Chains A and B, each alone.
Chain A
């Protein structure tokens, strides 16, 4: 049982969704990003996604694009990623990395898995790597005991959901809407249907992301999903500092704990 499996066993036992918070490593600087991650861990994020700032983030909206640009301009390097992951682990948090594929491919898939595991990372979310091209990563993640979190989308056919969930471990990342990352007024109505379609094919926990920004939305999503993923809204708060990030995290952590209707 991986530490992510243990986490979801615990939150399922408590009858609530897990809170999963995303921030880019190195935003606005490496040192400040460690403080921001520490704030989210301390304020109740069950799992954090450490984002890799990448030059061509095709699945990200303006908020995360701008944050990645800032991190890169401030000198973020790949080795800093492992450093940030280690800081989360040392704080008592659980960290997975979310990254576009090329930096992993370029580093060497097995070497990346080895170094991520050594830093205390628990797995990898791969927005532009599907199981179709994932054989090297599947081998490496098995070798180094990492979870591989693949994505499903409202446009995924049942056949593709079956293929994706069969290759995934830890949890399945369900994108709530068709589109890029970014806080939205409403979480897509497609999300609940997608979670239901995904559960037909797997017992893995299903986390829902893309658009969640408030405690109320977190409660709404937590009612039908195993995990609530918050990205852009936290990144926006990160530009205001650790107090703002901690305050939003607390609100979200309260949201996922509201009694399910």
Chain B
């Protein structure tokens, strides 16, 4: 295995371990590609041309830096605490996903590969990947569970408009987990020409550290903006966690600020007691899935349990290994938010601030409402508004009975 050089004390060891978690649990056939990726990523990080090109795309194409917006009318429902939104919803393609996608697409070119495959749940990562592939002239295939192609039909159309091929996955639970399985099968077959552009900070080394580093700009910007606009750091940072990429990105800006609480909000679905949820860190146990050792929803035989959430982007039974490490160290805390709590926050932000959030991000907003009540009137909370809710209007219309006959 090619060793990567840890750049900071928050980096994993040379073989991708964050404490007890991470590593590489994938077929030998993929080890060469993972070594190549780790080595090329290492070189790219040291290459001023690569970092300049990445920065140019982030500012000139994705629209960074994203805004920091105070949400005072929303915060009236949070015990008087002040709430600030890190507006990843304003990025091109409507979510934080574009950061990682642009970075990995540039790496794909650098490795001389011509074809990109990706998985997607809600479609945000798929749309972002299709976008970057259109921009950089790469062939693009997106795997998406059949359940998700149905509930996110508009995003399927978006990806196809952008020139991507969308392949519905009908195996297993027909959601994100199975889309990843199918993408891995494609990768092992076509690894010479193809880069697997994984959409979250999970999977085998070097994906968790690489994806996190492409997203840590969220936290770096937010920290500077808090200091410039508010004159202080937040008491707590709230972010939703499915695989955990937006959360790890924003958390990283504050890891060394030990007074800042880092709070990850997992999908509680229909309630933890119902068994229908995706609360991997709060309810799971360590196990391997999709290449890494991390917390996992599994049964007594080690079979993966299907996750559930109203949000297609969060119903994943695994989670990025660095979150497992932060949980065990006690540096971050994780709680579950139910579908109903998330949808209440979804509606509340829409009506009080004129911002329709992604249902994923609404989990973070619901967490912020809880934290505000706990912190009281002096509290200051930073929320990762990881995506916009245009894609979720159909879900919301059904949930709130907003349209006759739907």
Interface on A for B, CB 8 Å cutoff? 54-59, 61, 65, 69, 72, 77-78, 101-107, 127-130, 132-133, 150-157, 160, 164, 175, 178-180
Which residues of B lie under 8 Å from residue A129 when comparing CB positions? Answer: 25
Question: Does B303 lie at the interface of the complex (its beta carbon under 8 Å from any beta carbon of A)?
Answer: yes
CB distance A102 to B289 under 8 Å? yes
Contacts of A55 in B (CB 8 A): 172, 303-304
Is residue B1 within 8 Å, beta carbon to beta carbon, of the partner chain? Answer: yes
A65 with B301, Cβ < 8 A, contacts A130-B31, A133-B25 known: no
Contact, CB under 8 Å: B288 / A105: yes
- Answer whether A61 and B31 are a contact pair too, CB < 8 Å, given A56-B172, A78-B301, A103-B302: no
CA–CA, A152 and B25, complex, Å: 15
With known contacts A65-B171, A102-B288, A107-B302, A155–B184 Cβ distance under 8 A = no
Q: Is the CB of A103 within 8 A of B171?
A: no
| Chain A residue at smallest Cβ distance from B285 | A106
- Residues of B within 8 Å of A180, CB to CB, are 185, 188-189
A178 touches B188 (CB 8 A): yes
Q: Is B402 an interface residue (CB 8 A)?
A: no
Cβ–Cβ contact B26 & A128, under 8 A: yes
List the A side residues contacting B87 at CB < 8 Å. none
Bin the interface of chain B by size: 35 or more
**Cβ of A133 and Cβ of B24 under 8 Å apart?**
yes
CB neighbours (8 Å) of A106 from chain B are 285, 287, 298, 301-302
- Give chain A residues whose Cβ lies under 8 Å from the Cβ of B290: 56, 58
Q: How far is the CB of A101 from chain B (nearest CB, A)?
A: 5
Instruction: Give the 5 A-B residue pairs with the shortest CB-CB distance, closest first.
Output: A106-B302, A153-B29, A103-B302, A78-B301, A179-B189
CB of A193, distance to nearest CB on chain B (Å): 15
Q: Could you write out 21 A-B pairs with CB less than 8 Å apart?
A: A55-B304, A56-B177, A58-B290, A101-B288, A102-B288, A102-B289, A102-B302, A103-B301, A105-B286, A128-B27, A130-B24, A130-B31, A151-B29, A152-B28, A155-B30, A160-B31, A175-B29, A178-B188, A178-B190, A178-B192, A180-B189
Shortest CB distance B390–A (Å): 32
Q: Which chain A residues border B184 with CB–CB below 8 Å?
A: 58
Contact partners of B188 in chain A: CB under 8 A: 58-59, 178-180
**Would you call B23 an interface residue if the criterion is a C-beta within 8 Å of the partner chain's C-beta atoms?**
yes
What is the minimal beta-carbon distance from A128 to any residue of chain B, in angstroms? 5
Beyond the given pairs A58-B181, A106-B287, 17 more chain A to chain B contacts, judged by CB atoms under 8 angstroms and listed by A's residue number, are A56-B177, A56-B181, A58-B26, A65-B171, A69-B172, A78-B300, A103-B302, A107-B301, A128-B25, A128-B291, A130-B31, A155-B31, A155-B33, A156-B29, A156-B31, A178-B190, A178-B191
Kindly list chain B residues whose C-beta atoms are within 8 Å of the C-beta of A65.
Answer: 171
Which A residues lie within 8 Å of B181 (CB)?
56-58
Within 8 A of A (CB), among B146-163: none
For residue B62, CB closer than 8 A to chain A, the reply is no
Q: Does B211 contact A (CB under 8 A)?
A: no
- Within the assembled complex, what's the spacing in Å between the Cα atoms of A175 and B31? 14
Set of chain B residues within 8 Å of A155, measured between Cβ atoms: 29-33, 191
Q: Which residues of B contact A127 (CB under 8 A)?
A: 27
The reply to whether the CB of B296 lies closer than 8 angstroms to some CB of chain A is yes
Assess whether B29 is in contact with A56, with CB atoms less than 8 Å apart.
no
Within 8 A of A (CB), among B229-271: none
A113 to B287, CA, bound (A): 18
The 8 Å CB contact of A101, one of B25, B32, B304, is: B25
Does the CB pair B302–A130 fall under 8 Å?
no
Does B15 count as interface, using CB distance less than 8 angstroms?
yes
Which chain B residues lie closer than 8 Å to A128 at the CB level?
Answer: 25-27, 288, 291
Residue of A65, A128, A130, A178 with highest tally of chain B CB at under 10 A: A128
Please indicate the chain A residues that have their CB under 8 angstroms from the CB of B286 in the complex: 105
- Decide: A133 and B31 in contact? CB cutoff 8 A: no
* B108 smallest CB distance to A (angstroms): 18
Chain B contacts for A156, CB-based, 8 A: 28-29, 31-32
Q: A128-B27, A133-B23, A178-B29 are in contact. Are A54 and B303 (CB under 8 A)?
A: yes
**In the bound complex, CA of A164 to CA of B31 (Å):** 12
Bound complex: CA A245 to CA B295 (Å): 40
**Contact present for A56 and B25 (CB under 8 Å):** no
Q: Which residues of A sit under 8 angstroms from B33, Cβ to Cβ? A: 155
| A132-B24 CB under 8 A given contacts A160-B32, A175-B29, A180-B185 | yes
Contact for B303 among A72, A104, A152, CB less than 8 A = A72
Closest to A127 in B: B27
A78 to B302, CA, bound (A): 9
**A103–B188 alpha-carbon span in the complex (Å):** 22
Determine how close the nearest CB of chain A comes to the CB of B198; give it in whole angstroms: 13
Within the assembled complex, what's the spacing in Å between the Cα atoms of A160 and B191? 17
Separation of A156 and B298 alpha carbons in the complex (Å): 31
Check if A56 sits within 8 Å of B189, measured CB to CB. no
Residues of B within 8 A of A160 (CB): 28, 31-32
CA distance A129 to B288 in the complex (A): 10
With contact pairs A72-B303, A128-B288 given, residues A61 and B185 touching in the complex (Cβ less than 8 Å): yes
B184: nearest chain-A partner, CB-CB? A58
Contact assessment for A102 and B298 in the assembled complex, using a CB-CB cutoff below 8 Å: yes
B302 and A151 form a contact (CB under 8 A): no
How far apart are B263's CB and chain A's nearest CB, in angstroms?
28
